Structure 1
Amino acid sequence: MTDPGERLRSSLAADQATTAGVEWDTPIAMEAMRASRVLHAADQEPLPAPGRIRVMTIANQKGGVGKTTSTVNLGVALAIFGLRTLVIDLDPQGNTSTALGVDHSVGTPSIYDALVGDSTLAEVTHPTTASPNLTCVPATIDLAGAEIELVSVVAREYRLRRAIELYLQELPADQRPHYVLIDCPPSLGLLTLNALVAGDEVLIPIQCEYYALEGLGQLLSNIDLVKAHLNPGISVSTILLTMYDGRTKLADQVADEVRSHFGSVVLTAVIPRNVRVSEAPGYGQSVLTYDPGSRGATSYVEAARELAFRGAGLKPQVAAPPPAPVVAGPPVAALILGEPPMASRSVGHRAGREDPT
């Protein structure tokens, strides 16, 4: 596999090819060049808009693989390079909200109010300081109880999808986001199920370590279930390798195995281990605004650029496919969530059936 550092250096050097007589191989010069590229993003050619609005679910039931970090930094990178982006924080911990500098204390209008209450997504969407193109729907601790409260709600799996669809319909065409990024909690519960039903694409961050591969099969199996029964349009479109440590052979082995199995779905860009990426949330920032010259910032810019160019070739979506009809037997939510029979039977109201009890 090509060394990520060498690839980044080549990419950055190509962008600065018009500058003559400057030696870019010194560490200080490289950092300055990377920082300049991010800080002056507005002066560069914007990234291409996708052929349709891309609703992307960032999911992996394993914790600590970079879901939140990737959601935040990809969202900021897309936004500062000209693409309107909405980030939805669906994790009760609210780390995405923290990293984007959005208040998520108790009482703040949040995604909980849209899922469980009567609020629209527009009413719980907040601006961010990272970019005028970037907005965020925060998560408060109230979201921790949402899974219990949604158990008896009709069409509980579609709550987020319908909220997003209504939000997009109400916005003028020139104000609709190009990207909607949904950050999932590290589990396969009802919140993640809502995100999978709402999204058209799944982006899976995979840590370059062995344990990160163990639960991948279960995640892919559940995505197939959602595709078959709840959301026919969903697919795994992107896999992002994170926490790459070039000093270890294990990282190369994991990366090679993922690439050989998933092929072109895996982004060429690789996110290296970088302390600046970990420090940035402590200041309520993304790594692109905290230290734009770091390798972490450059890597996420490269990943966002690759994501944008892939999206530019997408065909416009004519109409969203209708939900699959509910068939006899346990609902798919019960199969995915592993609910007991009584909980499964109570969801029968979704199909207009009377509960036999």
Structure 2
Amino acid sequence: MSEVGLRKTTLAAVRDLRPRKRLNPLILAMVLAAGGTAKTTSTTILGTILALRGYIVRIFDLDPQCNTSEILGRREEHKDPEQKTVWDLIQGLCTLDEATVQARYRTGYDEEGEPLFTEIPNLYLVHGDSQLTDTDTLLANKPQKFNWFYNLTGLYAKGELAAHEREVWLLDLPANYGKLTLSTLIALTEDDEVIPPLLVTGKESGALEKLLRTLLEMQREFSGDMAPASPTVKNVLLCSTPTSSHNAQEYHDTVAEVERDYPGMVLPYVRHSGVTAKQYRRQVTPPISDPKSAPSVDYEKVADALGFPDLEPAA
């Protein structure tokens, strides 16, 4: 196992949201070049939990499937025609705030059958866009746009943008290492974190090793040249781990393999549950709809392990 890009972390340590006195928000990126590995589920549930804990959370929906936007109450068919998206942001056609909307969840329907929503305090979404499928073409034809995310973080150092002292960014990236993914990750420093969500029901251990090689190659190609390019894997997130009703031996074998290969880096397990599949249709994340469900309880533990204590504990 390559150790490049890996760094152990003390799980109980409180996360410094402004390490080295940086001005742009801390960034957590859900990345793994494998489909259906709980990247979107992890992003939306963890983002909701952090927002409910009092953090100011901005989620970037960078996957052309726009599932994060869908879960957070912002399906494309419900979008205001004038609403800017992350696609506009990448092209330089709008500001970050113009592409950002309040996350929300569906509470029912009105008499005309139109959905009703309630906003989620502290949780913001950089609106997804199916046109992101054209991003690699755009970045190939206009290479100056490749630095779009690095330039965005640089606006904080220039004083053109100001981050809230409790602000955190979460990135839901596509299941590949194309130009869109790389153009985003090059802006990450070693203080940020790449979190690979790994389904133990699949064969993603090879995908995890590929991720580490990709991060090393990125650092060699871009670091010190055009951006920090120091994205680091500090923790591994195991999802759909065995339960009494989801108990195949291969699942246990995968958990044991990852624990062996990445000692001290495995976050609290996220157990298999059918609750997460419902969030797409219901447009509401489990911490709001089912706060006592396995995913809600497990991701609460993940938030603790990542160093995000509750800033607004109940009295």
State the TM-score, normalizing by the size of structure 1: 0.68
Please tell me whether the aligned partners of residues 87 and 182 of structure 1 are also in contact (alpha carbons under 8 angstroms): yes
Q: Does 1:278 align with 2:277?
A: yes
1:186 aligned to 166, 175, 186, which one? 175
2:232 aligned to 232, 235, 256, which one? 235
Matching residue of 1:331: none
Once the two structures are overlaid, the 10-residue window that deviates more, 51-60 or 301-310, is: 301-310
2:46 aligned to 70, 74, 83, which one? 74
Matching residue of 1:63: 35
1:226 aligned to 182, 201, 218, which one? 218
Please tell me whether the aligned partners of residues 187 and 229 of structure 2 are also in contact (alpha carbons under 8 angstroms): no
Matching residue of 2:207: 215
Q: Give me the whole-angstrom Cα distance separating, in 2, the residues matched to 1:309 and 1:75.
A: 11
Distance change >3 Å, CA 274–CA 294, structure 1 → 2 = same
Matching residue of 1:135: 124
Q: Which structure shows the bigger proportion of residues in helix conformation?
A: 1
Higher RCO (Cα < 8 Å, 6 or more apart): 2
Q: Give me the whole-angstrom Cα distance separating, in 2, the residues matched to 1:253 and 1:54.
A: 34
CA shift, 1:172, in A, is: 3.9
* Structure 2 unpaired stretches of 5+: 1-12, 19-24, 105-118, 223-227
CA shift, 1:210, in A, is: 4.5
Distance change >3 Å, CA 167–CA 72, structure 1 → 2 = farther
Q: Give me the whole-angstrom Cα distance separating, in 2, the residues matched to 1:290 and 1:140.
A: 26
Q: How does 1:91-240 map to 2 (within 5 A)?
A: 91-105=63-77, 107=81, 108-129=83-104, 131-166=120-155, 169-173=159-163, 175=164, 178-199=167-188, 200-230=192-222, 231-240=228-237
Query: Identity rate of aligned residues, in percent?
Result: 27
Please tell me whether the aligned partners of residues 55 and 198 of structure 1 are also in contact (alpha carbons under 8 angstroms): no
1:50 aligned to 16, 20, 33, which one? 16
CA shift, 1:104, in A, is: 3.3
* Matched residue type, 1:123: E
* Matched residue type, 2:195: L
CA shift, 1:309, in A, is: 4.7
Q: How does 1:250-329 map to 2 (within 5 A)?
A: 250-267=250-267, 269-309=268-308
CA shift, 1:209, in A, is: 2.9
Number of matched residues? 263
Local SS of the residue matching 1:50: coil
CA shift, 1:151, in A, is: 0.9
Please tell me whether the aligned partners of residues 57 and 195 of structure 1 are also in contact (alpha carbons under 8 angstroms): no
Flag the structure with larger Rg.
1
Please tell me whether the aligned partners of residues 88 and 136 of structure 1 are also in contact (alpha carbons under 8 angstroms): yes
* Matched residue type, 1:111: V
CA shift, 1:138, in A, is: 1.4
CA shift, 1:263, in A, is: 1.9
Q: Give me the whole-angstrom Cα distance separating, in 2, the residues matched to 1:210 and 1:88.
A: 26
Please tell me whether the aligned partners of residues 61 and 69 of structure 2 are also in contact (alpha carbons under 8 angstroms): yes
Please tell me whether the aligned partners of residues 288 and 297 of structure 1 are also in contact (alpha carbons under 8 angstroms): yes
Q: Give me the whole-angstrom Cα distance separating, in 2, the residues matched to 1:271 and 1:114.
A: 33
Distance change >3 Å, CA 49–CA 216, structure 1 → 2 = closer
Q: Give me the whole-angstrom Cα distance separating, in 2, the residues matched to 1:157 and 1:226.
A: 13
Distance change >3 Å, CA 286–CA 178, structure 1 → 2 = same
CA shift, 1:66, in A, is: 0.2
Per-residue CA deviation, residues 233-281 of structure 1 (Å, 9 max, x unaligned), is 32112210001123222222211211221222221x1111111111012
Local SS of the residue matching 1:82: coil
Q: Give me the whole-angstrom Cα distance separating, in 2, the residues matched to 1:245 and 1:59.
A: 22
Local SS of the residue matching 2:278: helix
Per-residue CA deviation, residues 122-142 of structure 1 (Å, 9 max, x unaligned), is 211111136321111011112
* Matched residue type, 2:16: P
Once the two structures are overlaid, the 10-residue window that deviates more, 157-166 or 137-146, is: 157-166
State the TM-score, normalizing by the size of structure 2: 0.77
Q: Give me the whole-angstrom Cα distance separating, in 2, the residues matched to 1:251 and 1:182.
A: 27
What root-mean-square deviation, in Å, do the aligned CA atoms of Structure 1 and Structure 2 show? 2.3
* Structure 1 unpaired stretches of 5+: 1-46, 313-357
